[in-house]
Structure 1
C-alpha cells in the first residue's frame, strides 16, 4: 500500500517535469499509451464475450481515465502537486461518506470542507481555475471508484482496467499525433512521461490489487490517506514546490477526515 501511493505521486511529479515541453495533454497521451502497452501483455484482456452490462463500466472507465488525468495534471501545472492531489482526494472521501448514514461521518465531511477552505485560502489571488480543475479530477476519481468496483464485480482480476486502458489508448493515439506535431517532444520529456505512466498507472494497478487481497477495503482506505503527504514530499523534492503553513494544515485536516471515516468502519 505504501509502495502504491509513493509510486503514484512520484510518477505524477516526474510527469509534471515534462510539462514545459509537452504540456499536461502530452503527458496524459504518453501515459495512456504506455500504460496500455505494459498492461496488455500482463493481463491479456479479452474483448470477446463481454455483455452489455460489462461494457458499461468499462466505457465509463475510459471516459473517467481521460477526464481525471487531464484535469489533474492541468491543475498540477497551475496550483502545484500537493494542492491538486489533496483536492482530488476529496473524490473517494465523498464516495465513502455518501455510502454512510452515520452522523460522525457527516461530521468528517464537514471537517474536510473546512480543510479545503484552509488549504485554498480563498482570496483575490486564488487560482480559481486550478482549484476547479482539481475538484473536477476529484469528481472523476469518485466515479472511478464506483465504476472500478462495478467492473471488478463483473470481470476477474485486472480485466476491467486493462480493457479500459486499451480503449483509452486507442482514443488518445490520434490526439497524441496531432498534439506532438504542434508540441515536438524531446527524448527526455518522453522518458519522464513514460516514467509517469509506470509509476502512476501500472504500479498502482498491480500493487493495489495485491494489497486488497490481503487487507480490508477500510484498512486500504486508511493507507490511501497518505497520498497527499507523498504528493507534498514529491513536489518538494522533485519540483521544488514549497508549501505555506496553512497549506500543510489544510492537507492534515483533509487527511485526518479520511482516516476517521475509514477507521470507523
Structure 2
C-alpha cells in the first residue's frame, strides 16, 4: 500500500473538515459585515492568517531573489482580490450561491489549459447550474439575484483562476510555506486602502476582534493545516473530488447558520456545479483509458493555499 493511501479514511475527514471550517468561517465573517464592511473583514482575516503563518514559518526574506519576490507579490495580489471579491459577494447574495458562481473560475481555467471539448462541456454544465440559480432566485424573490453580488462572485472566480496559476509559481520558486505567509502579508497591505476604515471599527471592540480572529482561524489556518495533512495521504484526483463538494457545503452553511433559503431549484443548481467540478477533476489528469500515474512522493505536497481548486495541471 502506498504511503499516500495510508490512512485515507481520516484524510477524507480532514478535507471535509476543511470545507466545513472554510464555510463556517465565511458565515462568521458575514456577521461582521454590518459593523466593519466586507473589505474591513477581509483585511483583518488576512492579517490574522499572515501573522500566524509568519511566526510559524519564519521565512528567510533576505535570501529571496527578485524572481521569488515577483512570484509572491503576484500571488498575494490575486489572493487579496479573490478574498475581497468573495466577501463583497456574500455581503449581497447567499453564501452557497456565491461559492457556486465562483467555481466557474477554476472550471474555465481547466478547460482553457486542456483545450479539450470534454472540459468545455463541464464548464457548460456548471454554467447551466448558475443560470438555474438565477432563475430560482427570480422565481422566489421576484427580482432575482443582486447583480453587483453576482459580478463580485464572478470576479472572485477570475481571481481564483489567477490564484491557481500564481500559487503554482510560488510553490516552484519558494521552498516551504514561507511564500504563502508573505503572500498573505502582501495581500493585507494591498487591502489597506479599501479596508482600513472598516477594520478600524474593531479597535476598542473586543467582541469584533475576537470574531475576526475566529474568522481568520476558521477560514485560513484550519483549512490550510487540514488540507496539507490530507494531501500527504490522498491522490490529487480524490483530493480534488472532495473539494468539489464545497458549493454544497457552502449552501448548507448558509441555510443552517445564516437562515438563507435552500429550495429544490437552488439544490439542483448546486448539484450541477458539483457534478461539473467532479467530472473536470476526475478527467483532468489523463485521457480516457490511460492508467493513472503512480502516486507522488507524499512528502512533496503542493503549495498550501487559502482556497483550493481541483488539480488542473
Normalised by the length of structure 2, the TM-score is: 0.78
Partner of 1:43: 57
Distance in 2 (alpha carbons) for counterparts of 1:216 and 1:51: 32
Partner of 2:39: 25
Offset from partner CA, 1:6-30 (integer Å, 9 cap, x none): 1111111111111121121121111
SS at match of 1:2: helix
Partner of 1:5: 19
Is 1:81 aligned to 2:100, yes or no?
Answer: no
Partner of 1:14: 28
Question: Which entry has the higher C-alpha Rg, 1 or 2?
Answer: 2
Q: 2:170 aligns with which of 130, 143, 151?
A: 151
Change (3 A) 1:240 1:126: closer
Q: 1:216 aligns with which of 235, 260, 279?
A: 235
Distance in 2 (alpha carbons) for counterparts of 1:209 and 1:183: 31
Q: 2:79 aligns with which of 41, 61, 65?
A: 65
**More displaced, 44-53 or 169-178?**
169-178
Partner of 1:203: 222
Q: CA deviation at 1:174?
A: 6.8
Offset from partner CA, 1:67-108 (integer Å, 9 cap, x none): 111111111011111111111122222222222233222211
Change (3 A) 1:102 1:15: same
Change (3 A) 1:76 1:174: closer
SS at match of 1:99: helix
Correspondences of 1:28-177 after superposition (within 5 Å) = 28-121=42-135, 124-172=143-191, 177=196
CA-atom RMSD in angstroms: 2.1
Q: CA deviation at 1:47?
A: 1.2
Change (3 A) 1:83 1:46: same
Partner of 1:262: 281
Is 1:241 aligned to 2:293, yes or no?
Answer: no
- Higher RCO (C-alpha under 8 Å, 6+ residues apart): 1
Q: CA deviation at 1:190?
A: 2.3
Distance in 2 (alpha carbons) for counterparts of 1:46 and 1:27: 29
Partner of 1:192: 211
SS at match of 1:241: coil
Gaps of 5+ in 2: 1-14, 286-313
**Whose helix fraction is larger, Structure 1's or Structure 2's?**
1
**More displaced, 226-235 or 101-110?**
101-110
Change (3 A) 1:98 1:219: farther
Residues 69 and 137 in structure 1, CA contact (< 8 A), matched pair in contact too: yes
Distance in 2 (alpha carbons) for counterparts of 1:208 and 1:101: 29
Gaps of 5+ in 1: none
**More displaced, 185-194 or 144-153?**
185-194
Residues 31 and 194 in structure 1, CA contact (< 8 A), matched pair in contact too: yes
Offset from partner CA, 1:175-196 (integer Å, 9 cap, x none): 6543345676733222222111
Residues 15 and 195 in structure 1, CA contact (< 8 A), matched pair in contact too: no
